[in-house]
């Protein structure tokens, strides 16, 4: 009776190339820092605000982008399959993390309801659902329920485009 070899790390056990999460995190954090700095430019009271925030943002964004580049090169070298792991079952968490970032960035343009319908449909596709009618039904019903809860029950103003 042969024993199955035990992987020394979760990355090796599930086939996820190391540092994929680090690359995504660095890119999302850099985008968040840059977005925050952009809002400061429009609401700054004086040059002192700029002098405190902008240099720190430039250094932070540069460091995060450098980390993403270094880890990304390592990721490509170690995977041997380029970024094909994003479509593998083991890469679903990283793909969903990227989708969440894209969802957050798209809300000002698509509205909460439009963005949520697209997000839910793509998330179901990533998770393996292939029945189109079920994807459409769940995306629309889930979005309608969330809009009703936030807008109707909790009285939270949302940037809506459809409902």
d(CA 68, CA 101): 16
| Torsion angle of the four alpha carbons 107, 113, 116, 120, in this order, in degrees rounded to the nearest 10 | -160
| pTM of the predicted model as reported, rounded to 2 decimal places | 0.51
Whether the CB-CB separation of 58 and 52 falls below 8 Å is answered with no
**Secondary structure of residue 16 in the 3-state scheme:** coil
Mean pLDDT computed over every residue of the chain: 76
Specify the DSSP class assigned to residue 154: S
Confidence of residue 134 (pLDDT cuts 50, 70, 90): very high
Q: What is the pLDDT of residue 150?
A: 85
pLDDT for 109 equals 84
Are the C-beta atoms of residues 86 and 95 closer than 8 Å to each other? yes
* pLDDT score, position 82: 47
pLDDT of residue 142: 92
pLDDT in tens, 50-100: 777 778 788 888 888 787 777 777 666 665 554 455 556 667 787 888 888
pLDDT band at 140 (very low <50, low <70, confident <90, very high): very high
């Amino acid at each position: 009776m042969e024993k199955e070899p035990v992987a020394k790390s979760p990355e090796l056990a599930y086939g996820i190339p190391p540092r994929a999460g680090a690359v995504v995190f660095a890119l999302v954090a850099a985008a968040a820092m840059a977005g925050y700095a952009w809002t400061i430019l429009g609401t700054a009271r004086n040059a002192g605000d700029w002098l405190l925030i902008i240099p720190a943002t430039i250094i932070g964004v540069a460091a995060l982008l450098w980390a993403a580049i270094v880890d990304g090169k390592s990721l490509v070298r170690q995977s041997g399959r380029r970024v094909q792991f994003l479509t593998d079952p083991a890469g679903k968490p990283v793909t969903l993390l990227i989708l969440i970032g894209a969802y957050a960035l798209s809300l000002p343009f698509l509205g909460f309801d439009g963005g949520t319908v697209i997000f839910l449909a793509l998330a179901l596709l990533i998770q393996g659902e292939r029945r189109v009618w079920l994807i459409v039904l769940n995306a629309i019903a889930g979005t309608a329920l969330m809009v009703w809860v936030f807008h109707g029950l909790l009285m939270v103003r949302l940037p809506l485009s459809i409902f």
